[in-house]
């Protein structure tokens, strides 16, 4: 009886720790997918490439709702990782990069992504007081937060060799890369396109001034 009790306690602890790891890993993968969808929706809304049969504000609201859902999964991911007794991360590592005693580089990159995402979230909440230009400059940090989160997902997860995990990770990467490329091409096209005078300008300007 005295021998069985410690063995049962150890088995229960191991099972609980394994459960925490599964929840932490599942929430981490969900975070990557949500962040990728938020990025793609943000770019689509900006470029006006959303389906025309849906009002634009629908995609803007979906963008914001998924961003809030992302925060909930982030809290779940962080708390379950900290409670896991088989890894040593520490509460300080949740806000200060590269302070973790476990996988310092991978966890540090994840912390950087959280800090950048937090800056985007906070400035979005106070957007009216902050001003559009300042908010937009901070919002560009989301483009940096995603690759940090992606590398964190690759480096911190020992299950990245599983085909379905690899499919989720690389499908997210492909979606964000496509959206980012579309954003860059749209910006370059807009910059290279010469300014065209408005129809009113054509009507009011004499032919000799227009070179005609």
pLDDT of residue 84: 83
Band (212; pLDDT cuts 50, 70, 90): very low
pLDDT of residue 57: 63
Average pLDDT, the chain: 78
pLDDT at 131 over 60: yes
Name, of 134-138, 144-148, 180-184, 187-191, the range with top average pLDDT.
144-148
pLDDT at 194 over 70: no
Between 24-28, 52-56, 147-151, 208-212, the lowest mean confidence (pLDDT) is in 208-212
Work out the percent of the chain whose per-residue pLDDT is above 90.
Answer: 28
pLDDT of residue 175: 94
Q: What is the pLDDT of residues 78-121, one digit of tens each?
A: 999 888 887 888 889 988 999 988 889 999 999 999 999 888 88
Residue 179: name the closest of 63, 44, 27, 66 by CA: 44
**What residue spans define the domains of the chain?**
11-210
pLDDT of residue 122: 84
Q: What is the pLDDT of residues 25-55, one digit of tens each?
A: 899 999 999 999 988 888 887 776 655 656 6
Q: What is the mean pLDDT of residues 125-153?
A: 85
C-alpha dihedral, 132 to 133 to 137 to 142, nearest 10°: 20
Work out the percent of the chain whose per-residue pLDDT is above 70.
Answer: 75
Q: What is the pLDDT of residues 3-29, one digit of tens each?
A: 444 433 344 445 656 888 889 889 999
Contact present, 24 and 39 (Cβ < 8 Å): no
Tokens coding 125: 């909440």
The more confidently predicted of residues 138 and 96 is 96
pLDDT at 204 over 50: no
3-state secondary structure 57-124: HHHHHHHHHHHHHHHHHHHHHHHHHHHCCCCCCCHHHHCCCCCCCCCHHHHHHHHHHHHHHHHHHHHH
């Amino acid at each position: 009886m005295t021998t069985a009790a410690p063995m049962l306690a150890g088995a229960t602890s191991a099972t609980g720790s394994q459960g925490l790891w599964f929840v932490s890993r599942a929430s981490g993968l969900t975070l990557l997918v949500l962040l990728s969808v938020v990025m793609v929706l943000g770019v689509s809304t900006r470029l006006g490439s959303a389906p025309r049969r849906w009002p634009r504000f629908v995609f803007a609201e979906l963008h914001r709702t998924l961003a809030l859902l992302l925060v909930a999964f982030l809290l779940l991911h962080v708390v379950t990782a900290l409670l896991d007794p088989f890894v040593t991360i520490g509460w300080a590592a949740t806000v200060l990069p590269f302070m973790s005693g476990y996988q310092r580089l991978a966890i540090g990159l994840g912390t950087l992504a959280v800090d950048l995402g937090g800056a985007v979230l906070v400035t979005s909440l106070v957007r009216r007081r902050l001003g559009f230009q300042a908010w937009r400059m901070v919002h560009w940090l989301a483009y940096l937060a995603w690759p940090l989160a992606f590398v964190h997902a690759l480096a911190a997860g020992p299950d990245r060799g599983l085909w379905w995990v690899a499919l989720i990770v690389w499908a997210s990467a492909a979606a964000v890369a496509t959206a980012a490329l579309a954003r860059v091409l749209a910006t370059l096209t807009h910059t290279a396109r010469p300014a065209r005078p408005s129809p009113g300008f054509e009507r009011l300007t004499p032919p000799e001034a227009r070179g005609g």
